Structure 1
């Protein structure tokens, strides 16, 4: 078996840069993080492959400056699978492409039934990839050879996959659509930090008491501070379910907290003073969180029929029309049009609801031009049909 070397010295890095710049064609790129193990989402291994150059496994924890590599390859096409998952951690170390080809997104646009890398490689190249290390702790040092082989294979086949997918996109008339989608992924703005990130606690939406929510908030903040300090995934310290169990039971003493059977996790007892202090803050604070969080999003569609029958009719008919169009284009409906965009336009349509005005509304929400061209007229037609159906129903009732 080939011995894979991790690039971590200046000399090895310089040689890798020289060879990558001398290579030919697109550059396949991937990154491995330690999600579920570490708090940060930094890259712990960056893999690159280029024809006539070879495969390179960089350790970004040991390489202080990627600027020479960035300067040499940023204008080349980078091939990534599910690029949105890796771009942030690549940018964190100064690696940022001018253009990309996203093999996962291309597979979606082509209507492939399974779009994971292993499935796409097997369908297009007839090669079966093992995915046993996809959820490993990539902050481990030294990295085992079996992990490095897995990481290398993730990029060594990507250029071949890109060529096959690119040819299919051209054959199906979807090449320009794909380019617009790739560009949208590349330039998508990062989501702003949540105003109240503690509300991401799994299961918290069922909690209806401000006092319980206050305890949940303080526990989440205490856990987050410790996780940041230790660079450990929060759930590995104390699971979400344990924090919710404490917030629901509202223990009145430190001992009651320690005796709560549902309160577990590796740091649940070793950091008991921390958790009890958080519980006390939640029990005594006058800064109680709101049970309902204001939102500009439409209500859940199941409530539309009672609250806004015409909006309900608009959504049902437009959703069916968009689904039919997606089937004709042989792609998932969510790639043809983001479901939330359709819901928002159906709930609050433009005054005239023409194809042009609906298209402008969709663009304002973030839809791409090709999506607007494919859907704005059929949505407008569905809205007209919905208005007529509601009017007919009202006439029949009277």
Structure 2
């Protein structure tokens, strides 16, 4: 039996070799590989769907919540979106080789700043098997190899998808080792992967607090965190209440088990009596459990449970919503600063000065005026797909698309210059 550390090191070593080969390949061949991957996914669809069915069946036996089962499911709609996403990424402009800056120095040196691949990217994620495809095609488009570690609940789905991706690469004449999946369920695989500094250039964890903390604790390579989304919608005193109603329902109910769904609703005290009673009734009719402060409970009726201190800092990923009445913008900003996760936050108001102050003051990756937080998504931003939503500030922030999976280098052209 080969020790786990040796297995993972060998996988990462193969990815590094593949990354070097990708770095020398014309971008047109990378696009051809993405086309082959899309065709391979369509051909392998029955096998992938069967693997996903077995994962869901096992998940139900293990007692996974409805929201987790939803994230796990490769429905016909999700699968069609997968195929469409591959094509959208393929059709994006190629970032590699793009000249970002160019300057001519007085000594005659021409200096260019040029986009290049990062190299080998390790991505650690939970639940959603569609991430296996989204992440892989984005990394490949940017000339990177990828090492994937998905959640144990999606093992069969992820293996079937990764095998199909590798088949597409092989058919296109590119190294299949450019897409690697750690197949082992052992939890020690994550710390071991985090220590592969000889082979990995970047780690991207996306998941819950436990996963993020494990990666940050053990990482010996740079990390871009894709952390929880404690997203807020603040309905300000001068909001169009019908617009606010639609935004709140969409942000909470359209797909509650994702990171850009609203988890806390803040309502200005000035409009709370006119807005909250009906809003609570409509949310309850959609199956949403409301946890509120004292005034929300007074206005919302007996179905509103008391919100404890932990509720304001919880990413429910479910049909549960915390609601608080605040004294204007300053108190809303203070609440978001204390409990937010720097993901996505929105204000609903008809007052442009108040909106501008909110947009300038809230330190989140994405801030909205009169819009649902559900648009924080690579596809909705025109990226084709996304690696995830970065809640960090360095290198990448918000939805990470192809451009965020590149670095740059300086290329200098001379004519015999020497430094005196």
TM-score of the aligned structures, taking structure 2 as reference length? 0.22
TM-score of the aligned structures, taking structure 1 as reference length? 0.23
Query: Which protein is richer in helix relative to its size?
Result: 1
| Structure showing greater Rg | 1
Query: Which protein is richer in strand relative to its size?
Result: 2
